[in-house]
Amino acid sequence: MRYYLYVSTVKVDMLYEQIPPKLLRRLAVEAKVDLKFVSVAVQSPRADTSTYDRLDLVEAYLDREFDVSWMSEPTAWFRGDLGLRIAGYGDANSPTLMTGRDGDLVVALIGSAHHLIGYQASPDMHRVSYSGLPSMFRLLQDIPPEWEYQFNVRWRSRMPSRESVTHDVLHFAESLTVPPVYCEFLARQLMRGTVTREDGRELTIVIGTPLYVAMSDGAPEGEEA
């Protein structure tokens, strides 16, 4: 069982609806999920599954049909296990950013706060998606005022450099003061780049948008918080 912190129901539903019916049936049998299939031609049973059943089936489909890699060498879809600092608890209709570092690797996951478990928007609220690079660019240029207490600098007086989004993400990650939560995650890669620091150390910056983030059992040995 997983203790989820974030589940993108929008991504889960979008991907779930694209799984071919015959393969969906096979995956459901393997995952022991009851889809209440009457026949392959009946499409309504797709709605009879819970969010977590659909997530299990989507994850199984991605593992079966795609090259899901580890975060250190990310492909289009990648997994990770990392101490993540989470910024964005506040307005349910705002972005959230989860970021962590492991050695020379920095991972930043951008998503929507209403997908944080227990932080959902009201049904009548117009929901805005923050799962793409344009949202990341806007976020780095204009940090929400309610986020400023989570940083060790006054962000509006020290705006991140516009020269490269990878530098901005690194500055963002290093400025967060909230304690990390050790998590496992599955994400879609949006961008990857490198930053060379003043001491000559080269860091890899991976930006993605998560399908899910769940608490992990503990910190991997040697991980930097």
Spatial CA neighbour of 144 closest among 60, 192, 87, 104: 87
Spatial CA neighbour of 225 closest among 167, 180, 172: 180
Give the model's pLDDT for residue 74. 93
Counting beta carbons within 10 angstroms of the beta carbon of residue 38, is it exposed (0 to 12), middle (13 to 18) or buried (19 or more)? exposed
Give the model's pLDDT for residue 192. 93
pLDDT above 70 as % of the chain:
72
What pTM was computed for the model? Answer: 0.81
User: Which 3 state secondary structure label does DSSP give 89?
Assistant: coil
**What's the mean pLDDT when you consider all of the chain?**
81
Average pLDDT of the segment spanning 172-198? 91
Reported as a single tens digit per residue, the pLDDT across 103-134 is: 999 999 998 888 888 765 555 554 556 677 76
Residue 13: band (very low, low, confident or very high) from pLDDT cuts 50, 70, 90: very high
Residue 47 C-beta-side C-alpha neighbours within 13 Å: 3
Give the model's pLDDT for residue 88. 73
CA distance 94 to 76: 25
Structural domain boundaries of the chain?
68-215
* Residue 145 token pair: 């005022």
